[in-house]
């Protein structure tokens, strides 16, 4: 049984590579999909496809059109979602992706540091599992195949 996992969350370090490496080490039959992880490309994709926009609001909206197209397509093809929150930034996309996944009945794991327990409490409560490290998230995925 092949399982596809959408990796929502911040794109400022290599946590997705760690996830894939751990999955390979454990020999799990997982395929991972994710948002665009090149931050600049993600911010500019609207203008790169549609041309120069008349200001930041419009540039951002054009980029979001295409980022949301990508996320919607890949999340619908996924069987589960891991959403990782870091300590910096607003990360509203991560909250949006996790909430959307839960509303679509995708089994969802949240990864967040202990410092974020309080602000994430309602979202953690709606997700299936909340852990603090990528290793723990992989332990949960591995458990499905035991």
Of residues 73 through 102, those in contact with a copy of itself by CB under 8 A are 73-74, 76-77, 79-80, 89-93, 95-100, 102
Q: Which of helix, strand or coil describes residue 109?
A: strand
The strand pair at 108-111 and 80-84 is best described as: parallel
Q: What distance in Å separates the CA atoms of residue 47 and residue 17, rounded to the nearest whole number?
A: 28
Looking at beta carbons only, is 21 or 136 nearer to a copy of itself?
136
> Considering the rule CB under 8 A, would residue 10 count as an interface residue with a copy of itself?
no
* 90: Cβ contacts below 8 Å, ≥ 6 apart: none
> Considering the rule CB under 8 A, would residue 113 count as an interface residue with a copy of itself?
no
Of residues 20 through 59, those in contact with a copy of itself by CB under 8 A are 31, 33, 36, 38, 41, 45, 48-50, 54-58
């Amino acid at each position: 049984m092949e399982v596809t996992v959408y990796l929502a969350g911040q794109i400022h370090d290599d946590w997705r590579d760690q996830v894939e490496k751990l999955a390979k080490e454990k020999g799990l039959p997982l395929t991972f999909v994710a948002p665009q992880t090149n931050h600049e490309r993600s911010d500019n994709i609207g203008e790169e496809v549609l041309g120069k926009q008349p200001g930041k609001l419009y540039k951002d909206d054009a980029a979001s059109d295409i980022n949301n197209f990508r996320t919607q397509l890949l999340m619908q093809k996924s069987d589960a979602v891991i959403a990782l929150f870091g300590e910096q930034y607003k990360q509203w996309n991560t909250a949006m992706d996790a909430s959307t996944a839960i509303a679509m009945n995708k089994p969802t794991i949240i990864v967040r540091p202990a410092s974020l327990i309080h602000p994430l409490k309602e979202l953690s409560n709606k997700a299936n599992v909340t852990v603090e490290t990528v290793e723990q998230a992989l332990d949960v995925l591995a458990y499905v195949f035991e």
